[in-house]
Amino acid sequence: MPGDSGVFVVALVLLYLSIFLVFGVALKPNSGIPLSRRQPDVPTQTSSLTRLTDHAVGVLNKGLRKRGPGLLTQERLDECGLKKEPGDYLIMAGVITLTDAVVGLFLGGVFAAILLTLLTPLGLHLMLNALAGRRRRQFDQQVRDTLQMFSGGLRAGHSLLRAVDAAGQESQPPMSEELGRIVNETRIGRDLGESLADVAKRTQSEDFLSIAQAIEIHREVGGDLAEVLDHLGDTVRDRNQVRGQIRALSAEGRMSAIVLMALPVVMFIGLTLFNEMYSRTFTATLPGYLMIAAAVVLLTVGGFWLSRIIKPKF
């Protein structure tokens, strides 16, 4: 059948293209320090692919800066702990979307390719949300120990900035990254209070915001900052204990949400793989497309509703 042969050839070409883009562009290793700085005497030699990729990244970054705040910004990637620029992430997202489309074309035809092309950007956006949430939780768990190091450094006679620097060297990521950023920004002239408030905003940590406010008040009125931080540490410890109890009590709700969201998708994939006749109504007719669209909308609304129920604020 000529039509099937043509689709196979197109899918094969796209598969090789996606493999090349994944391993040649998206996953290409790059050093954080340019070669011109590591080896100043060695002339820089770059391939055509590297120059093309760098040019594309530069154009994307310039366009994103002109567009202003949006879904993908440098601040958003910093919240996730990704040491990438928005242009790099967009290129990687495009390559992953192309790869998923090719895989869908091989496994389920044109409909599966279109569906994966639409769902992949949504999945990447949800992945960013998950990375940012995990980083915030790790940061919140480290605030208590960081407070103890702050107060210990102050009692040892260090200045506040030196205590922050020492706490950053003794901590694990993401706390060490944020404290190191505070020290670097302060050394080049930025106000310490602004740097602390920026970290609290970036990590959405109410506990660290309390630290920033306490330090700012101490700079204005004076007093024993170490004692203030000790009392604040007790408050943070009690809040973490309550937060842990809430997560334990809402664990059943979170598991129910995951099962209810995943069950329809897993069942549909299973029917498609084991008996295509059952799923042909959904993948080959207009009512089937409408039912899939309605299912996606209902699952999205239900997942958002369940996430609000099991995420109390206090």
Specify if 66 maps to a domain.
no
Whether 212 shows a pLDDT value over 60: the answer reads yes
pLDDT of residue 36: 56
Query: Of 234, 249, 264, which closes a domain?
Result: 249
Residue 214 has pLDDT above 70, yes or no: yes
Q: How confident is the model at residue 95, as a pLDDT?
A: 80
Q: Which of 9-13, 168-172, 200-204, 205-209 has the lowest mean pLDDT?
A: 9-13
- CATH at residue 150: 1.20.81.30
Asked if 204 and 299 sit in the same domain, the reply is no
Question: Last residue of some domain: 224, 249, 274?
Answer: 249
Residues 143 and 241 in one domain: yes
pLDDT tens-digit readout, 70-127: 667 777 888 888 877 777 777 788 888 888 888 877 777 777 788 788 888 888 888 8
Residue 35: inside a domain, yes or no?
A: no
Residue 60 within a domain: no
Query: Residue 45: is its pLDDT beyond 60?
Result: no
Question: Residues with Cβ < 8 Å from 100, sequence gap 6 or more?
Answer: 116, 117, 119, 120
Residues 245 and 258 in one domain: no
65 close to 72: Cβ distance less than 8 angstroms: no
User: Is residue 224 assigned to a domain?
Assistant: yes
In a domain, 199, yes or no: yes
- Using the predicted structure, report yes or no on whether residue 12 has a pLDDT greater than 70: no
Percent of the chain as helix, strand, coil, to the nearest 5: 85, 0, 15
267 lies in which domain range? 250-314
Q: pTM score, two decimals? A: 0.71
User: How many structural domains compose the chain?
Assistant: 2
Q: Cite the DSSP H helix spans in 204-250.
A: 206-221, 225-249
Query: For residue 91, is it within any domain?
Result: no
144 and 239 inside one domain: yes
Each residue of 116-170: pLDDT tens digit? 888 888 888 888 888 888 999 899 889 989 988 998 888 888 888 899 999 999 9
pLDDT over 90 for what percent of the chain? 11
In the DSSP assignment, the letter for residue 85 is -
In this structure, the answer to whether residues 188 and 266 fall within a common structural domain is no
Of 26 and 245, the structure prediction assigns the larger pLDDT to 245
DSSP string covering 92-133? HHHHHHHHHHHHHHHHHHHHHHHHHHHHHHHHHHHHHHHHHH
What pLDDT is stored for residue 1 in this prediction? 46
| Residues 242 and 291 placed together within one structural domain of the fold | no
Say which DSSP state 69 is in.
Answer: S
Q: What is the mean pLDDT of residues 258-277?
A: 80
Q: Do 194 and 161 have their domain in common?
A: yes
Q: Is residue 279 part of a domain?
A: yes
Among 213, 232, 249, residue at a domain's last position: 249
The full DSSP string for 262-293 is HHHHHHHHHHHHH-HHHHHHHHHSHHHHHHHH
pLDDT mean across residues, the chain: 78
Residues 157 and 209 in one domain: yes
Statement to judge: residues 278 and 211 lie in one domain: no
| Three-state SS at 224 | coil
